[in-house]
Amino acid sequence: MMTGSAILILTVILIMLFTPLSGTAFQFLFYLLSYPFALAASLFSKTVREDLKLIRFDPFNRDEEKVLKARKLSFFKGAAVLRMRGRSGAFGVILLDRFENASALRHERGHLRQLMLMGVATFLITVALPSALILGPYDKRGRFGYYDAPWEALADMLGGTLHAQTAEFIKNARTYYLLGHLIIPAFFWWRRKPRRKLRPDRRKR
């Protein structure tokens, strides 16, 4: 049977999961662990070793082109970037499809900033879930593109890969960010349609 102290500690931990503290701690843990792992991997993999040589073993590398040239593993602004085939994403590390471009790299780096600002639980519910399931009207088949979704638009803003800085574009992203902390209002935004198309479509991840 749980004691009062145990219940209190568990409650505090659960609350923290919805705050920036958990997101920041989670992301920094990945920052600290990723580089030693990469160095160890480079001892056994010539490909990884060559990838790291491209960035001169600098985990804070900011050269996007060097990251895109990597075949397996690289670093971008402190975050590990794993090159793979399939849909790109970000949670602790960046998973980047081998055919993606610099814009996609910045976008995924923006998701990591979202994680730090929103907290682990908030991010998983209000960003990762609708992004992975492509919820709402934001897809290639309709009037609005995948990247017009406010959770994706905010990642663009934070990652520095804006394509059309319209007032509605910025307002939608910021409003969703604020409402996302309350979780429940975000559910209604998954079906909300913008008044007009915000910017040209980009290839869906």
**Residue-by-residue pLDDT tens, the chain, 205 positions:** 667 787 888 888 888 889 999 999 999 999 999 999 999 999 999 999 999 999 999 999 999 999 999 999 999 999 999 999 999 999 999 999 999 999 999 999 999 999 999 999 999 999 999 988 887 777 655 456 788 888 988 999 899 886 555 677 778 888 889 888 887 777 777 766 666 554 444 444 4
Angle (CA) 174-18-147 rounded to 5° is 35
Position 53, amino acid:
K
The whole-number pLDDT of residue 52 equals: 98
- Dihedral of the CA atoms 144, 148, 151, 156 (nearest 10)? 160
**Would you put residue 119 in left (φ > 0), alpha (ψ -120 to 50) or beta?**
left
β-pair partners for 74: 81
* Dist. CA 178–CA 191, nearest whole Å: 17
The string of DSSP letters for 135-195 reads -TTBSTTSSB-GGGSHHHHHHHHHHT--S---HHHHHHHHHHHHHHTTSHHHHHHTTPPPS
pTM value is 0.87
* Dist. CA 18–CA 88, nearest whole Å: 24
* Dist. CA 34–CA 36, nearest whole Å: 6
